[in-house]
Amino acid sequence: MKGETRGKMKSSKSRSGLFLRKLTINNFKSIKKIEMDLGQLNIFVGANGSGKSNILEAIGMLSAAISGEVSYSSLADRGVRLSTADIFKSSFEGEKRVKTIRFESEFDDFIYDVSLEASKKAGNLFYYFAEKLARQGNNIASRSNSGATVNSSAVDKLDSDLSVLLYARINNLMEKDISDSLDGLKKFAIYAPTTPILRGISPDVSQKAPLGLYGGSLAGAFRDLLRSSSKGKELDKFLSLFNWIKGIDVSAPDQRVQSSHVHTGDKVITVTDSFMRKDFNSLYGYDVSEGVLYIIFMLVLLYHRDTPKIYALDNVDSALNPAMIKKFIELTSSLLDDQGKQLFMTTHNPTTLDGIDLFNENHRLFVVERDKKGFTEVHRIKPPEGMTKEEWREKFRGIPLSQIWLSGAFGGFPEI
């Protein structure tokens, strides 16, 4: 136990039905059409510009659609870049442009499909061209050119820039388990913390509670986490990645430690260093290793009660030592189920792959590439049917996944 660390992370047993099981994306940015069978931990690798972030943003747009409207504010809240409607729609040389962007999502026993077309209304980016919510082939809610229905009853005067799901929720016409599953995806966000914002010296424009998409509320969110918990082992597992940390907390800045030239908030991350003198052994987030701040950020995402159940991390592992990111992925993947969360993650760090267990059905590794026409393609990397772990190790002579990827065996590398 780190001596000054407070907090035991309470686990909440996951409900598998809350997760997104399958996703099809049509006509979104560099994606003509891709289909993905998803797990609880989903990691995407590939060259720059291959479309990894586009996949995360497609999930962000689907999340906005589920929330009730696809507007600039709803996309910004999810970390999606605020491009024009035309930028969101695919454009390929020699290909006719399709008017709508289409998403098909599948949970355990129900599906939600939505087609979106550019809106001419101020403040709204897209309107709902078609929707379908169905369980085991039975329609629950839908809309088309002929109108909208919920539980086979017509819906009058439903604005085209508002989802039929919103009407069903407001009128309590949706079963609770479906509503809970959709809520998990509705709260989806793409997190991309940056060092100056984590240190507290640059603003986080996102204002996304409780943490900020870029880490602007890290100290407050971490304080909430510590206050809502009692002592335990889970946090120490992550802090053990840093052998010089004796403890960690949140406090008001002291002028002996923080220069008057540095302007942060009224609460700062405070790390106690094992090797410093006992009468002066504290460092604030401004001076501490950036890797510590990234780990704390991802800890809060995993454990805080108000963070999304389904979320994404976009290239956040570049600040971490390779051995550390491997251990972090191993720890995170072991706790996702206990916390009832689903993670999507892009990476350029090969060592991230070494924390994945390809023989665990909850782990999915995807290679993202562009084909000769420029279409983004996604290939899942998995062992051949019937192959055991021992046979896999024998085939690759115990070489870690990072080295297999770097060798070019998986693809996902640019031709230079």
Tens of pLDDT, residues 151-171: 989 998 889 999 999 999 999
Tens of each residue's pLDDT in the chain, 416 residues: 344 443 333 333 344 557 999 999 999 999 999 999 999 999 999 999 999 999 999 999 999 999 999 999 999 999 999 999 999 999 999 999 999 999 999 998 999 999 999 987 877 899 999 999 999 889 999 999 889 999 989 998 889 999 999 999 999 999 999 999 999 999 999 999 999 999 988 989 998 999 999 999 999 999 988 887 654 466 777 777 888 888 888 988 877 777 777 767 788 888 899 999 998 988 888 888 888 899 999 989 998 999 999 999 998 877 788 888 888 898 888 888 888 999 999 998 888 999 999 999 999 999 999 999 999 999 999 998 989 989 988 888 888 888 888 888 777 666 65
Phi, psi of 201 (to 5 degrees): -110, 0
Q: What do you get for the CA distance between the two ends of the chain, in Å?
A: 48
Residue 42's DSSP bridge partners are: 344, 364
**Looking at beta carbons, which pairs linking 120-123 to residues 24 or more positions away fall under 8 Å?**
121/161, 123/71, 123/72, 123/73
Domains and CATH numbers, the chain: 18-189+308-416 (3.40.50.300), 192-306 (no CATH)
Give the CA dihedral 201, 206, 207, 212, nearest 10 degrees.
-70
* Cα–Cα distance measured from residue 133 to residue 404, given in angstroms and rounded to the nearest whole number: 41
Place of tokens 């479906």: 178
Beta-carbon contacts of 253 under 8 Å, excluding residues fewer than 6 positions away, are 264, 266, 268, 284
Give me the pLDDT at residue 414, please: 62
Distance from C-alpha of 257 to C-alpha of 280, rounded to nearest angstrom: 9
Q: Which residues pair with 101 in a beta bridge?
A: 116
pLDDT at 365: 95
What is residue 367's three-state secondary structure? strand
According to the model, what pLDDT value does residue 279 have? Answer: 87
| pLDDT for the residue 9 | 37
State whether the Cα torsion 244-246-252-253 is positive or negative: negative
Give dist(CA 97, CA 326) in Å, integer: 42
CA distance 260 to 267: 15
**Residue 237 to residue 221: CA distance in whole angstroms:** 19
Predicted local confidence at residue 230, as pLDDT = 57
**Structural element, H or E, at residue 245:** strand 245-251
Secondary structure element (H or E) that encloses residue 191, with its range: strand 190-191
Q: What gap in Å lies between CA 274 and CA 278, rounded to an integer?
A: 9
Helix (H) / strand (E) containing 52: helix 52-67
Task: Report CA dihedral (103, 104, 106, 109) to the nearest 10 degrees.
Answer: 130
Rg (CA), the chain: 23
pLDDT score of 1: 36
